[in-house]
Amino acid sequence: MATVDPSLVAHLPLFAGFSAEELGEILREARSVRFPKNSAVFEQGEDAHSFFVLLHGHVRASKTTPTGEQVVVRYVATGETFGVATAIGLPRYPATATAVSPKAGTGPMSRISSAMPAPAAARPACRRAISASGWCASRSPG
């Protein structure tokens, strides 16, 4: 796994306002990972351990309903973040993320949470935005 070049993500809203040094520290443990087409990046209900920044390609987010129906709730495009469950107070991923053809950079959630100023203050707005997109149509199982 290769490290994530800060210049690939510095322009993204999630990383806006950080100095080069701060961004370097946030990304210190981040790795660039290729996921084969149709492979799961993470599964619904799995313990949330990382956030993801899609560097190239697309990811499909889907939820399995209590009746067993699979519903696509979001398509993630290049430059978008996903898998931010821990940042909004969820211990598990609320949906399954499947690679359509991406190269995603991933880093430990703790690095983002500790680097962001007052992450708890941003949770309500994050939760509303994610809920509105259907990503968190319900709390994760478990």
Dihedral, CA atoms, 55, 58, 59, 60, nearest 10 degrees?
160
Q: 41: Cβ–Cβ under 8 A, 6 or more apart, which residues?
A: 35, 52, 59, 83, 97, 98, 99, 102, 104
Question: pTM of the predicted model, to two decimals?
Answer: 0.72
Residue 63 has pLDDT above 90, yes or no: yes
Instruction: Please give the Cα distance from 102 to 60 (Å, whole number).
Output: 10
Between 137 and 102, name the one with better pLDDT.
Answer: 102
pLDDT at 130: 43
Q: Dump pLDDT digits (tens) for 72-114.
A: 999 998 888 888 888 788 999 999 999 998 677 665 555 555 5
Between 128 and 100, name the one with better pLDDT.
Answer: 100
